[in-house]
Amino acid sequence: MALPRLIFVTGKGGTGKSTIAAALALAFAQRGRCLLASLDGRASAAQMLDFGQGGESVARRTSKVPEPLTLDRRTELEAFIGRIVPMRAIANRMLRSRTFGYVTAAVPGLEAFLLMERMRTIAGDAALNNYHVVADAPASGNALEMLSVAGGVRGLAPLGVLNRIANGVEALLTDSRRFGVLVTATPDELSVLEALDIARRLDELHIAPIAMLLNCAVDSMFEASELEALRKLDGHHQLAVRRRELARRTDTARRRLKSAGVDLIELPMLFCAELHGRELSSLARRLGDTLLANEAAA
């Protein structure tokens, strides 16, 4: 099955969302055109592709890199007000007014909602022009707000512009050819619980998860029998025990994530002091081999 046009990468904070989004976009870019969208207004994923100091940047290793795109909530709100309030002076005044700030703050998720509307137009363009978009989405809580906000807005606004937009956004989210979610986790227990929670919420929202991605997977390296023989090497014994503990957590996480009934893919823990172009390219290769194996070359 082909991957959707827009892939929304989310998970608990600290599970490597930006790294994974950057690596996935890189894998796509090796095969055709790809946009790497950062939804936090900070382009943290795009920065991954261009580590300045100390290491080789991906951009210098290959010419086939994804195109960065930085989106943020405030800009989308401004664009929206500009559309519905035709006079620029009034639109600007409204945006500057603190009162308006309070009103928008009181409509939960208005800005997130407008960001989703932007996702819809981007996914439409990607389908039309045959490319893919990888979105480095916020951590679970905010991401779920983005994914469920359309339904809420429709409830608040039974008629009018926002109602029409809400219908469009919901149609995007439930169309598995245009939209899918990649849920990231690490062997850390809380991140696994959060990933399972996201999977449940996606199911309720009729949004298709692409896969659960277990990042930082560790292999045990030592057999239990070998551990016994290491007792005389105190420090090394402890280190081997730590290794096996990480591997055990990986196993538990794997088992739990599989229970969601969604494909599970894994990326290994990178034992390195800093992440450089070489490491990112190796992650991209792995993602290419698993997730993109069935993608037709563009």
Contact 126, 8 (CB under 8 A): no
Does position 298 interact with other proteins (CB under 8 A)? The reply is: no
Cβ closest to other proteins, residue 30 vs residue 136: 136
Does position 157 interact with other proteins (CB under 8 A)? The reply is: yes
Does position 107 interact with other proteins (CB under 8 A)? The reply is: yes
Contact 209, 181 (CB under 8 A): yes
Please, which of residues 125-144 interact with other proteins by CB under 8 A? 139
Does position 163 interact with other proteins (CB under 8 A)? The reply is: yes
Of 71, 85, 127, 264, the one binding other proteins (CB under 8 A) is 85
Query: Where would I find the H helices in 157-298?
Result: 161-173, 189-204, 224-229, 234-258, 277-290
Closest by Cα among 47, 10, 28 to 135: 10
Min dist. Cβ of residue 257 to other proteins (A): 17
Of 93, 177, 206, 278, the one binding other proteins (CB under 8 A) is 93
Q: Which tokens sit at 226?
A: 């070998």
Place of tokens 């998970």: 11
Closest by Cα among 288, 58, 84, 291 to 182: 291
Beta bridge partners of 11: 184
Q: Is 121 exposed, middle or buried (0-12, 13-18, 19+ CB in 10 A)?
A: exposed
Of 71, 156, 208, 264, the one binding other proteins (CB under 8 A) is 156
Cα end-to-end distance, the chain, whole Å = 15
Does position 106 interact with other proteins (CB under 8 A)? The reply is: yes
Does position 160 interact with other proteins (CB under 8 A)? The reply is: yes
Cβ closest to other proteins, residue 221 vs residue 298: 221
Of 128, 158, 231, 294, the one binding other proteins (CB under 8 A) is 158
User: Which among 58-66, 161-169, 172-180, 254-262 is the span making contact with other proteins, rule CB under 8 A?
Assistant: 161-169
Of 2, 103, 171, 298, the one binding other proteins (CB under 8 A) is 103
Please, which of residues 182-241 interact with other proteins by CB under 8 A? 188-191, 193, 221-222, 226, 229-230, 232-236, 238-241
The 8-class DSSP code of residue 281 comes to H
Min dist. Cβ of residue 33 to other proteins (A): 30
* Element housing 214 (H / E): strand 209-217
Does position 265 interact with other proteins (CB under 8 A)? The reply is: no
Closest by Cα among 115, 113, 198 to 156: 113
Cβ closest to other proteins, residue 133 vs residue 185: 185
- Sequence-separated (6 or more) residues with CB below 8 Å from residue 165: 113, 114, 117, 150, 153
User: Which among 24-32, 45-53, 100-108, 257-265 is the span making contact with other proteins, rule CB under 8 A?
Assistant: 100-108
Give the number of other CB atoms < 10 A from CB of residue 122: 19
The 8-class DSSP code of residue 131 comes to -
Interface residues toward other proteins, by CB under 8 A:
12-14, 81, 84-85, 90, 93-94, 97-100, 102-103, 105-109, 139, 145, 156-163, 188-191, 193, 221-222, 226, 229-230, 232-236, 238-243, 245, 271-274
